[in-house]
Amino acid sequence: MSGAMDVDKVVGAIRSVLPERAFIGLHEPCFAGNEWGYVKECLDTGWVSSVGKFVDRFEEQLAEYTGVRKAIAVVNGTAALHVCLLLAGVEQGDEVLMPALTFIATANAVSYCGAVPHFVDSEEATLGLDPGRLGAYLEDIAEIRSGHCFNKNTGRRIQAVVPMHAFGHPVDLDPLMEVCRRFRLELVEDAAESLGSFYKGRHTGNWGRSAAISFNGNKLVTTGGGGAILTNDEELGRLAKHLTTTAKVPHRWNFCHDMIGFNYRMPNINAALGCAQLEQLEGFLEKKRLLAGRYRDALAGLEGVRFFEEQDFVRSNYWLNVLLLDEENADRRDALLAQTNDGGVMTRPAWMLMHKLAMFEKCPRMDLSVAESLEKRIINIPSSAFLGDGDDKA
């Protein structure tokens, strides 16, 4: 609803959903399953590092759940994105389209390839990259030459686009795929935040040639630190495995490597944690959906602010719940952040837009007015799965 936001009332509404505790974090992990047992097995057997059965099991569980042909477990989500970009043919001097409203990892991974991030605006309905405006923008600045897309202003090739499913809410992928076909762009989903999020019934990470997921400590499922590459291309999957395991040619004793690979493999002890976590994924998702529903109800009818909800055509994991302030109340954001954090309820604003960071301020970009507006109006509120537990509240 529009009108002046009453900070006290909004804080009261958030509190009404949360248990009485001295401190409530933004997203705390939940280890209520086989975590201790599986990790102990690693310690008892000595298989803690780069070899062991949990890595294979984790990859299989992940592929099955997300519906991809192959999942490759790696050390973190940033490393996963790095390799996805290389597999998409991103080379030194290329440009890669990505939202300005994202976590730093997306832009860093592009930079690791020697490529240049090219920032795209977001749409308010999804908080993700706006395919309609991207298409119109490319009509203007891009041209196709010998099967590739080039930026007429910089002369550089635009090789790929990296949508990011912000806070677990899927980007509108169908129109984006159409833009990719029209402009011969590779699609790499940054699905770091969207394990358990579906677009038109299919899990995110299934649209491009490959996609990246993160299992950092604050993500929905954690391996301590970790990530995965998802792909439906078996051949690409094998290459991803090879590249992320130092490109060693299998042999009983010889150390022969046939490419410059990476030591990006997820250790077995982390994968053990991940196996136990994935077993609980459905439960986490149910609780998070209950929590989102409670926030929605508690905040309904308050002026100047709304609880951000999924689009009809998606199922979001509600990884981090989002409060969206109206334009005219954006100046009260900091008061709301201060009051909640002072009271032990952890909240935080959106990331600073990528083009405002010193390293990326000279990168090409389209008009970013929606992202600029969203940056000032987004607040993330506590979203741990256990908060959706009715018992904890009582």
Ligand X SMILES: *Cc1c(COP(=O)(O)O)cnc(C)c1O
Q: Give whole-number Cα distances, 37 to 73, 244, 282, 303, in Å.
A: 21, 28, 20, 49
Q: Does 127 bind ligand X (CB under 6 A)?
A: no
H/E stretch holding 43 reads helix 35-45
Q: How many CA atoms lie within 13 A of 308 on its CB side?
A: 28
Q: Among 135-143, 189-197, 282-290, 293-301, which window interacts with ligand X (CB under 6 A)? A: 189-197
Cβ atoms 337, 343 nearer than 8 A: no
Residue 167 or 183: which CB sits closer to ligand X?
167
Strands 210-214 and 202-203: unpaired
What is d(CA 294, CA 259) in angstroms, rounded to the nearest whole number? 52
Residue 316 interacting with ligand X (CB under 6 A):
no
The single residue among 106, 194, 206, 222 that binds ligand X, judged by CB under 6 A, is 106
Phi and psi torsions of 265, nearest 5°: -65, 140
Work out which of 61, 76, 232, 329 binds ligand X, going by CB under 6 A.
Answer: 76
Among 128, 196, 227, 304, binds ligand X (CB under 6 A): 227
Tokens representing residue 258 in the block = 């046939």
User: Which stretch in 140-148, 190-198, 228-236, 380-388 sits in contact with ligand X by CB under 6 A?
Assistant: 190-198
Binds ligand X (CB under 6 A): choice among 29, 52, 77, 267: 77
Among 73-81, 238-246, 278-286, 375-383, which window interacts with ligand X (CB under 6 A)?
73-81
Instruction: Give the CA distances from residue 82 to residues 78, 141, 254, 261, 336, in Å, rounded to whole numbers and listed in that order.
Output: 6, 26, 28, 12, 36
Q: Which is nearer to ligand X, 85 or 164 (CB)?
A: 164
Q: Which of 186, 190, 310, 375 binds ligand X (CB under 6 A)?
A: 190
**Contact letters for ligand X, residues 142-181 (x by CB under 6 A):** ----------------------x-----------------
Q: Would you list the DSSP string of 306-346?
A: EE----TTEE---SSEEEEE-GGGGGGHHHHHHHHHHTTB-
Q: Which is nearer to ligand X, 168 or 304 (CB)?
A: 168
Residue numbers 240-269 binding ligand X by CB under 6 A: none
20 CB-near residues (< 8 Å, 6+ apart): none
- Our finding on whether 83 is near ligand X (CB under 6 A) is no
Q: Find the length of the chain.
A: 394
- Nearest-approach distance from CB 389 to ligand X, in angstroms: 24
Q: Which residue is nearest to ligand X (CB)?
A: 77
- Give contact residues for ligand X (rule: CB under 6 A): 76-78, 102-103, 105-106, 164, 190, 192-193, 214, 216, 227
